[in-house]
DNA sequence: ATAATGGTTAAATAATCGTTAACTTATTAG
DNA sequence: CTAATAAGTTAACGATTATTTAACCATTAT
């Protein structure tokens, strides 16, 4: 996930702090929302579903602790990440904060770089791309085995089963020339017999979709997947 | 997940600290492992796969920072949670710590209750039952698990149970192609036997409600949830 | 009880994919 | 240069696979 896809809501009654934190997070590319009390924060959260809420503990109307509890109480938004802001040295209030369901606790005075680091540490796991075991990245394109697509210039190209399997086999030989016989044995199986033009037709269709240079012919020998 | 199922590895060269932290975490029910330097820690991590590692920054043989980098470098254990321990006031070493991939940073002197609170805050999300996100937001629409409803262009579309479950399964595979067999096993269950056209009919009804492009057919392979 | 709803089935229809055949174009050997 | 061989192209066929439709029970609701 990109930073620009991540929304952070800042909640503090002091406009200066809002401005200061917003500036620092904005510089990292995050989308930033602001609210000046817990009540307004809750409305914004329900509406915009931010990924992270940074709450000042001390606020009029509805303080940070109370806001945090409200967030955790509502199943729709309960999994929102929450960071508390508080004055230094109030160790006991930290405990209360975590018990209310905070994910982190940052003490004032705030040092921009430290602040941003903590935010990033908390968001890091959000950004992780779900593990994809089946993606092959080549020079010109990416093959996604599990989705049956090839991505070229940010374009999704879908191949049909036979094309995909043939391509996959050629790619798996990383650049080596493979004879038609080997291709037949590996893609079709030793016992299946098909005409000799069958491969050509599939190769042609792959070339049509991925570009003429994707597969190179070595006349009299076989084919190879293009490399550099 | 229960506390007793969660393993925490403590790494510090001072036996007293190890003892002190271990006692406090043990009281909460966590399983605790101990190592007196980064090198030994790495071996233990590979062997026991703890959920959280608490690393003292200052250590002989292999310091915390280096250990952290090693953990993040190894894909098998890279997702282990990491907390750094350091002396108070070194704000800038915090930044280095987070950049090395830490998830939290605790400064000495350590106050037991605060320490435990931070650990719990970090582990809280680990304990959550995975399937409790009742709302899934996709590109084109939103799925509300709790109400069996899909929202598309501000329109509430209601699917019946089977349609909903099939959709949910497809969505949960995020874009991967799933064979009919897998769909049967996961949506209907291994022992239930229904005709082969049953899936098609449900797919058809989902497409009718959510648009033809919501589910894509990969002929001969299976279906996949569309992702633009 | 009757009606409505949901899940499944069967059968008809449609689309697609893999293959083939016939033909054209390259490449190589004699 | 010509013949022979190998690969490329095209369009069409047919088998397979998917879609659609409507009807049928079994549940659940009225």
pTM of the model: 0.68
Tokens representing residue A92 in the block: 């006991």
**Model pLDDT, residue A136:** 86
CA distance B141 to chain A (A): 15
**Model pLDDT, residue A64:** 92
| pLDDT < 70 regions, chain A | 89, 129-133, 227-228
Taking only the tens place, the pLDDT of each residue in A107-165 is: 888 999 999 999 999 998 777 766 656 788 888 889 999 999 999 998 999 999 999 99
**Model pLDDT, residue B89:** 67
**Model pLDDT, residue A135:** 83
**Model pLDDT, residue A92:** 78
**Model pLDDT, residue B101:** 93
Q: Which of the four pLDDT bands, split at 50, 70 and 90, describes residue B94? A: confident
Beta sheet of B104-108, edge-to-edge order: B31-35, B7-11, B52-56, B81-87, B104-108
DSSP structure class, residue B3? G
Q: At what angle do helices A112-127 and B91-99 cross, to 10 degrees?
A: 20
Question: Which residues of A fall within a CB distance of 8 Å from B94?
Answer: 114, 117-118
Q: Which of the four pLDDT bands, split at 50, 70 and 90, describes residue B84? A: very high
The set of residues, in sequence order, having a beta carbon less than 8 Å from that of B31 and lying 6+ positions away, is B4, B5, B6, B7, B8
**Model pLDDT, residue A9:** 97
Taking only the tens place, the pLDDT of each residue in B21-33 is: 999 999 999 999 9
Distance CA A8, CA A28 (A): 11
**Contact check, Cβ <8 Å, B121/A130:** no
Distance CA A155, CA B59 (A): 50
Average pLDDT over residues B88-101: 83
**Model pLDDT, residue B83:** 96
> What is the residue whose two structure tokens read 């606020």?
A59
**How many inter-chain contacts (A to B, CB under 8 Å) are there?**
80
Residues, chain A: 228
Question: Which residues of B fall within a CB distance of 8 Å from A118?
Answer: 94, 98, 105
User: What percent of chain B stands above pLDDT 90?
Assistant: 69
Nearest to A79 among B133, B219, B220 (CB): B133
Nearest to A91 among B111, B219, B221 (CB): B111
pLDDT at B71 over 70: yes
Q: What mean pLDDT, rounded, does chain B reach?
A: 91
Q: Which of the four pLDDT bands, split at 50, 70 and 90, describes residue B228? A: low
DSSP element (H, E) containing B57: none
Nucleotides of C under 7 A from a protein CB: 5-12, 16-23, 27-28
pLDDT at B132 over 90: no
Q: CA(B164)–C1'(C6) in Å?
A: 12
The answer to whether A76 touches B132, Cβ cutoff 8 Å, is: no
Taking only the tens place, the pLDDT of each residue in B178-192 is: 999 999 999 999 888
Q: Is the CB of A36 under 7 A from strand C?
A: no
**Model pLDDT, residue B145:** 86
Q: Is the CB of A162 under 7 A from strand C?
A: yes
Q: Pick the more confident residue, B137 or B83.
A: B83
Nucleotides of D under 7 A from a protein CB: 6-11, 17-22
**Model pLDDT, residue A122:** 93
**Model pLDDT, residue A76:** 79
């Amino acid at each position: 996930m990109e930073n620009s896809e991540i929304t952070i809501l800042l909640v503090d009654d002091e406009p200066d702090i809002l401005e200061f934190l917003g500036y620092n997070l904005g510089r990292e590319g995050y989308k930033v929302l602001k609210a000046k009390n817990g009540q307004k924060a809750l409305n914004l959260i329900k509406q915009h579903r931010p990924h992270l809420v940074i709450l000042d503990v001390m606020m009029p109307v509805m303080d940070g602790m109370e806001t945090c509890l409200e967030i955790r109480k509502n199943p729709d938004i309960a999994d929102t990440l929450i960071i508390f802001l508080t004055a230094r040295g109030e160790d006991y209030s930290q405990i209360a904060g975590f018990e209310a369901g905070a994910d982190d606790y940052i003490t004032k005075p705030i040092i921009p770089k430290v602040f941003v680091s903590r935010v990033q540490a908390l968001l890091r796991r959000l950004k992780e791309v779900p593990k994809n075991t089946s993606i092959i990245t080549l020079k010109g394109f990416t093959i996604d085995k599990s989705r049956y697509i090839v991505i070229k210039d940010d374009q999704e190209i879908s191949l049909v089963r036979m094309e995909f399997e043939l391509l996959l086999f050629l790619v798996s030989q990383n650049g080596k020339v493979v004879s038609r016989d080997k291709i037949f044995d590996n893609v079709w199986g030793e016992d299946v017999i098909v005409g000799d033009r069958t491969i050509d037709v599939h190769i042609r269709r792959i070339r049509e979709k991925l570009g003429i240079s994707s597969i190179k012919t070595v006349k009299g020998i076989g084919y190879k997947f293009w490399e550099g």
